[in-house]
Amino acid sequence: MKVAFLGLGNMGLPMALNLIQAGHQVHGFDLVQSQLDVFKAAGGISVGSASEAAIDADVIISMLPASRHVEALYLGDSGILATANPKSLLVDCSTISPKVSQAVAATAKAKGFAMIDAPVSGGTAGAQAGTLTFMVGGDSVDVDQARPLLEKMGKNIFHAGPSGSGQTVKVCNNMLLGIQMLGTSEALRLGMANGMDPKVLSDMMSKSSGRNWVLELYNPCPGVMENVPSTKGYVSGFGVDLMLKDLSLATENAGDLDASVPLGELSRKLYEAHSKAGNGSLDFSSVFNLKVD
Ligand code: NAD
């Protein structure tokens, strides 16, 4: 199967490498040359544009930062919908607005393409290990067509419902994750201010009712866990600005529907303050160091 992979960043690159390892012919494009170099060295076919990668692809996968990048990639004058073959199945794995996702998929459908939204959870470690969770929105027939490929990159493939519903699940999940990271950081800092060893505190809370994913798998306090961003100077991982984007998606979505998300809104403001203090490109667990007067 020929796959076009567009967006080879922290997530896209390891996902594409898993497809190469599974024996697929993967043509990739990214705006950053160093990412393309790593992709090529691992057996990918690096090309000079998204539309070149998409030529004759059975499946076109995108993994881009935000809604505006996805709109530009698919809807632009020389975008995928204008240049690719409608026989290609379109799979957008980026985390974007459910509304934008539905609009892009509807335009794609009007031009004869099938498109699904398939955002992921599991972080860069899950992308590398091929254990991501995919939350998929779209028609069953298209989801079933994509499933064997998604299974090369992930362990759990959930069909959430019609177009855009994968994004809805992802937005809810990440709002909860952002809140969990702030709450876990706050509890750890309070314990440490009392003289507690953060590792002992984490171990005990992990066996108590404060137990959660951040505490057990992505501890924000440096030195508590190996192989997590906090222990590596908060580099790479899932950026503060990406979490800020996801919380903005959640609060915008809530605003559209008149749903109440006060903790989501407070969290968005706290990540925004952390980003404005110059931490936007650090991993989101660096919010552990946020001090609020
Ligand atoms: P990233 O910024 O590391 O990678 C995005 C890549 O897209 C960059 O390399 C950029 O150069 C490239 N790009 C932008 N416009 C492009 C275009 N027109 N054509 C080709 N390439 C283009 O971001 P990431 O961490 O890989 O995240 C990607 C998406 O996955 C985001 O929507 C994010 O919210 C989501 N996500 C990230 C994580 C994580 O842990 N990093 C986890 C789950 C979901």
| Residues 181 and 230 grouped into a single domain | yes
Task: Look at residues 111, 141, 163 and tell me which one is the last residue of a structural domain.
Answer: 163
Residue nearest to atom 11 of ligand 1 (CA): 31
Residue 187 pLDDT exceeds 90: yes
Is the CB of residue 63 below 6 angstroms from any atom belonging to ligand 1? yes
* Ligand 1 site-directed mutation target among 5, 6, 8, 10, most atoms within 8 Å of CB: 10
Q: Are residues 159 and 193 in the same domain?
A: no
Identify the CATH number of the domain in which residue 231 sits: 1.10.1040.10
Domain that holds residue 222: 168-289
Opening angle at CA 84, ends 80 and 85, nearest 5: 145
Mean per-residue pLDDT for 29-56?
A: 97
Q: What is the CATH number of the domain that holds 120?
A: 3.40.50.720
What separation in Å is there between the alpha carbon of 66 and the centre of ligand 1?
A: 8
Do 14 and 126 sit in the same domain of this protein? Answer: yes
Q: What is the 3-state secondary structure (H, E, C) of 134-166?
A: EEEECCHHHHHHHHHHHCCCEEEEEEEECCCHH
- What whole-number percentage of the chain has pLDDT above 70? 100
Summarised one tens digit per residue, pLDDT across range 51-65 is 999 999 999 999 999
Averaged confidence pLDDT in the chain: 97
Q: Are 154 and 19 in a shared domain?
A: yes
**Section 97-115 average pLDDT:** 97
pLDDT per position as a tens digit, 245-291: 999 999 999 999 999 999 999 999 999 999 999 999 999 999 999 99
Which one from 170, 232, 245, 291 is the annotated catalytic residue? Answer: 170
| Same domain as 246, residue 121 | no
Question: Could you tell me if 127 and 198 lie in one domain?
Answer: no
Last residue of a domain, one of 141, 163, 185: 163
Q: Could you identify the atom of ligand 1 that is nearest to the CA of residue 29? A: 20
Domains of the chain: total: 2
pTM given for the model: 0.93
Model pLDDT, residue 236: 81
276 counts as catalytic: no
Q: Quick one: 264 and 245 in the same domain?
A: yes
Tell me the pLDDT band of 135, cut-offs 50, 70 and 90: very high
Q: Which of 106, 138, 163 is the last residue of a domain?
A: 163
pLDDT tens figures, 142-160:
999 999 999 999 999 999 9
Q: Which of 11, 33, 124, 170 best tests ligand 1's pocket when mutated (most atoms within 8 Å of CB)?
A: 11
Decide if pLDDT at 44 tops 90.
yes
Q: What is the pLDDT of residue 239?
A: 94
> Could you give the CA distance from residue 202 to residue 191 in angstroms, rounded to a whole number?
10
Report whether pLDDT(293) > 90.
no
**Would you say the CB of residue 123 lies under 6 angstroms from ligand 1?**
yes
